[in-house]
Structure 1
Amino acid sequence: MIKQALLFLHRWLGIVSGIVVVVVSITGAIFVFEEELFQVFHPALTHVEPGETLVDINTLKASAQAALGQEKTINFVSIYGDPSRAYYFSANKRNAESTSWWEKDEILYYNQVFVNPYTGQVLGTIDKSTEFFYFMRRIHQNLLLRRDIGNMIVGWSVTIFVFILITGIVLWWPQRVAQIKQSIAIKWNAKWKRVNYDLHNVLGFYAFIFALIIALTGLTWSFVWWEESVFNAMGSTKKDVAYLNVRDTTDTATAEGVTRAWQDVRQRYNADKLLRVTFNFPTKKNARVGGLVHYHGDSWWKNADYVYYNGATGDLSLLVDHEAKGLGMKWRNSNYDIHTGKIYGWPTQVLAVFVSLICASLPITGFIMYLHRLKKEKKRTKKARKKDAAATPAIANIPYKPRMPAKRVEVKLK
């Protein structure tokens, strides 16, 4: 009885969420190697010939700003430890008051400018809002809908998918241990209906753990309550890291302060150790400079330090070493890499691609099984009707004999 109820929920919830799961899974598989493929397609933007000296960060920013125009303010720069990588400056702004259903109306601008750090030459600009991989990411996260609407649709569809994964394992689990061996192999020489059945069950079994991890880490961007729950489960809360968002409104940033901060980061993390720095520039409302530094380390998590400076003087104001972070913050800094498979490099990225494609196939193979079941039930119903008809006397074949009217008898009264 319980398995029948689970099968009913598994089937119908799969039909309800299937289309979204297919779209999210396919776009996720495409996005896994986004950075690597972008470098392949745009080598003239991403790579430079290493030089002996670097141009000052303020000069580089001024060149990038001139390429965009003053109406688009540059927010941050990404600096790589690889000396052959160009710096890219980003300018983005959203319309928080947009009431449109579509996300494109929320994005006022999102541009990237690639600059040679040794010469200051602008290598090119990209409108990120229309760039292919970012377009895939927007579909993946919110189906191109306004973020609050799209995130909820994707989030609840993924939540349903998590339930489907769990119920799928329960329904798949053989009653006997000896049957497990037969249940984890695809019978390729069988009829296509059986092959489809095995593809749904066997691939779902092999991908279960990894699909669950990808789905649960993805919920972080859809639900605040889920993010808070994971923080709490790891012994901390988001409030514990609120100091990272504290603004410096007492000072006014200077070019010298920004230069000193930039130089300190480069000295603190040498090229062999550094992977990438996300360096935020000061604004009129916040003189704080710095950001998140990713580097090679021995931790199983993604190694990242928070480094902030006083934008007026360039003095270090806050350093949160990776080892000093709580478990919740280590997870949060690693969540994106776990979700996309980047956490341990290309082996886990390849795994993430295969798992994502399996996730995309499950609603399809499941729906084919459902259609086959409907067809089978129709045949069974039709056969039952024929059987009932054969067991019922053929009234239509009995010859019709009209009834003779009864004779009228008259009784005379004396």
Structure 2
Amino acid sequence: MVKAVLLFLHRWLGIISGLVVFVVSITGAIFVFEEELFRVFHPDIVYVTPGKTLRDINDLKAIAQNTIGADKNVNVVFIPGSSDRAYCFSAFERDAKSKSIWDKDEIAYYYQVFVDPYTGAVTGVVNKETEFFYATRRIHQNLMLRRDIGNMIVGTSTLIFLFILISGIVLWWPQRIAQWKQRFVVKWKARWKRVNYDLHSVVGFYVFLIAMLIATTGLVWSFDWWENGIYAMLGSSKKDAAFLTQRDTTYTATNQGITRAWKDALKRYEKGFERITLNFPTKKNNRVGAFVHYDGSSAWTDSDYIYYNGATGNVQQAILQDDKSTGMKWRNTNYYIHTGKLYGWPTQILAVIVSLVCASLPVTGVILWVGRKNKKQVPASPQPVSVKTKPRPRIASRQLT
């Protein structure tokens, strides 16, 4: 009885959420290698010839600003850890007044300007609104709908998918020992219906744990209550990250202060870092913020936050990896778990494979449903009708005398 109810829910919830799960899984598989593929397709934009000295960060920012115009404010620069890559200056702003159902109308502008840090030459300008990988990410996160609408649809479909995964394992679980062997193997030589069934159930079993991990980490961007719940499970609170929203307008930022902050961040991590995200001062906040991602010794994604006085360049606040709560360490790592980037290309490839399998599950499931729905009962073969016949009269033989 329990399995019958689970099968009913598994089937119909799968049909309801199947299209969203398919789209989100396919786009997720594409996005896993987004940075690597961007470098492959745009080497002339990303790579530069290393020089002896770097130009001042304010000069580089001014070049990027002049390239896209004064009406688009450059507010952050991504500094790569490799000396042969360009600095990436980003200008982004949302349209708070937009009431459109489409997420693209919520963005006032989003540009990235790649600048050679040695010569100051602009290597390329990317309008992120029309860039392939950014569009892929928007489809993945909110189906290109307004964030509150799209995130709700994607998040709800992901929650349903979690139930489908768990109920699928229950339905797959063999009841007898004799059934165990056949539940682990796809019978490729069987009829196509049997192969489709195995692709749905057997392959689904093998990706179960990784699929659960990808789905649960993805829900963080859809529901605040889910994120807060994980913080609580780890004995932490989202308030641990309150420093991210702190503002300071008690002074006026200067170019000299920004230069000192930039140089200090580079010197602190001169032994090696993967990327520094440097946030420039704004009208509402005169601090310079540096988020440094580096290859550390912990099992988490190692990163530090350094905040500078925008006028003097002195350090105001430093939140190092070892000082973070467990919840903060998880939150800084969640994206890398979700995309498989945590341990490099081996886990990225695994994430791609699992995502593609997740995309196939709604397809094979619908094929199963359609096949069973259209299955015609084969009529029983007619039984031969026995006809009773009268016995022939027996004729006694007469003996001639």
TM (norm. structure 2) is 0.94
Contact preservation (8 Å) 2:301, 2:333: yes
- Asked if 1:260 is matched to 2:260, the reply is yes
Moved more, 25-34 or 240-249: 240-249
SS in 2 for 1:96: coil
Query: Which residue is 1:137 aligned to?
Result: 137
Identity of aligned residues (%): 63
Query: Which residue is 1:28 aligned to?
Result: 28
SS in 2 for 1:228: helix
SS in 2 for 1:319: strand
* Counterparts in 2 of 1:269 and 1:178: CA distance versus 1, 3 Å: farther
Q: What's the offset of the Cα at 1:54? A: 0.3
Contact preservation (8 Å) 1:90, 1:113: yes
Give me the whole-angstrom Cα distance separating, in 2, the residues matched to 1:136 and 1:241: 29
Q: How does 1:330-349 map to 2 (within 5 A)?
A: 330-349=329-348
C-alpha deviations, 1:43-81, integer Å up to 9, x for none?
011010011100000000000000010000011000011
SS in 1 for 2:180: helix
Contact preservation (8 Å) 2:265, 2:290: no
SS in 2 for 1:219: helix
Give me the whole-angstrom Cα distance separating, in 2, the residues matched to 1:96 and 1:366: 41
- Asked if 1:309 is matched to 2:308, the reply is yes
Q: What's the offset of the Cα at 1:176? A: 2.8
Q: How does 1:5-404 map to 2 (within 5 A)?
A: 5-270=5-270, 272-376=271-375, 379-380=376-377, 383=379
Contact preservation (8 Å) 1:252, 1:284: no
SS in 2 for 1:274: coil
Give me the whole-angstrom Cα distance separating, in 2, the residues matched to 1:23 and 1:81: 34
Give me the whole-angstrom Cα distance separating, in 1, the residues matched to 2:195 and 2:306: 54
C-alpha RMSD over aligned residues: 1.5
Give me the whole-angstrom Cα distance separating, in 2, the residues matched to 1:244 and 1:327: 16
Contact preservation (8 Å) 2:158, 2:215: yes
TM (norm. structure 1) is 0.91
Contact preservation (8 Å) 2:306, 2:318: yes
Moved more, 29-38 or 96-105: 96-105
Which residue identity is paired with 1:235?
G
Q: What's the offset of the Cα at 1:178? A: 4.4
Give me the whole-angstrom Cα distance separating, in 1, the residues matched to 2:219 and 2:96: 22
Which residue identity is paired with 1:238?
K
C-alpha deviations, 1:66-109, integer Å up to 9, x for none?
00100000110000111011100000111122111111111111
Give me the whole-angstrom Cα distance separating, in 2, the residues matched to 1:309 and 1:67: 27
C-alpha deviations, 1:316-358, integer Å up to 9, x for none?
0111110111110001000111000000000000000000000
Query: Which residue is 1:393 aligned to?
Result: none
Give me the whole-angstrom Cα distance separating, in 2, the residues matched to 1:138 and 1:152: 14
C-alpha deviations, 1:285-310, integer Å up to 9, x for none?
11110231000111111001111101
Query: Which residue is 2:387 aligned to?
Result: none
Contact preservation (8 Å) 1:76, 1:89: yes
Gaps of 5+ in 1: 388-414
Give me the whole-angstrom Cα distance separating, in 2, the residues matched to 1:370 and 1:122: 55
Give me the whole-angstrom Cα distance separating, in 2, the residues matched to 1:182 and 1:107: 52
- What is the count of residue pairs matched by the alignment? 384
Give me the whole-angstrom Cα distance separating, in 1, the residues matched to 2:233 and 2:206: 27
Q: What's the offset of the Cα at 1:181? A: 2.4
Give me the whole-angstrom Cα distance separating, in 1, the residues matched to 2:20 and 2:379: 37
SS in 2 for 1:138: helix
Which residue identity is paired with 1:89?
F
Which residue identity is paired with 2:121?
Q
C-alpha deviations, 1:208-254, integer Å up to 9, x for none?
00000000000000001100000011111111221231111111100
Give me the whole-angstrom Cα distance separating, in 2, the residues matched to 1:24 and 1:348: 19
Q: What's the offset of the Cα at 1:383? A: 4.0
Give me the whole-angstrom Cα distance separating, in 2, the residues matched to 1:140 and 1:374: 32
Give me the whole-angstrom Cα distance separating, in 2, the residues matched to 1:383 and 1:219: 49
Give me the whole-angstrom Cα distance separating, in 2, the residues matched to 1:39 and 1:64: 20
Query: Which residue is 1:395 aligned to?
Result: none
Contact preservation (8 Å) 1:55, 1:117: yes
Please list every run of at least 4 consecutive aligned residues from structure 1 whose deviation after the TM superposition is greater than 2 angstroms.
176-181
SS in 2 for 1:286: coil
SS in 2 for 1:367: helix
Give me the whole-angstrom Cα distance separating, in 1, the residues matched to 2:34 and 2:137: 9
Give me the whole-angstrom Cα distance separating, in 1, the residues matched to 2:299 and 2:181: 33
Q: What's the offset of the Cα at 1:167? A: 0.3
Gaps of 5+ in 2: 383-401
Give me the whole-angstrom Cα distance separating, in 1, the residues matched to 2:323 and 2:251: 28
SS in 2 for 1:75: strand
Give me the whole-angstrom Cα distance separating, in 1, the residues matched to 2:177 and 2:265: 57
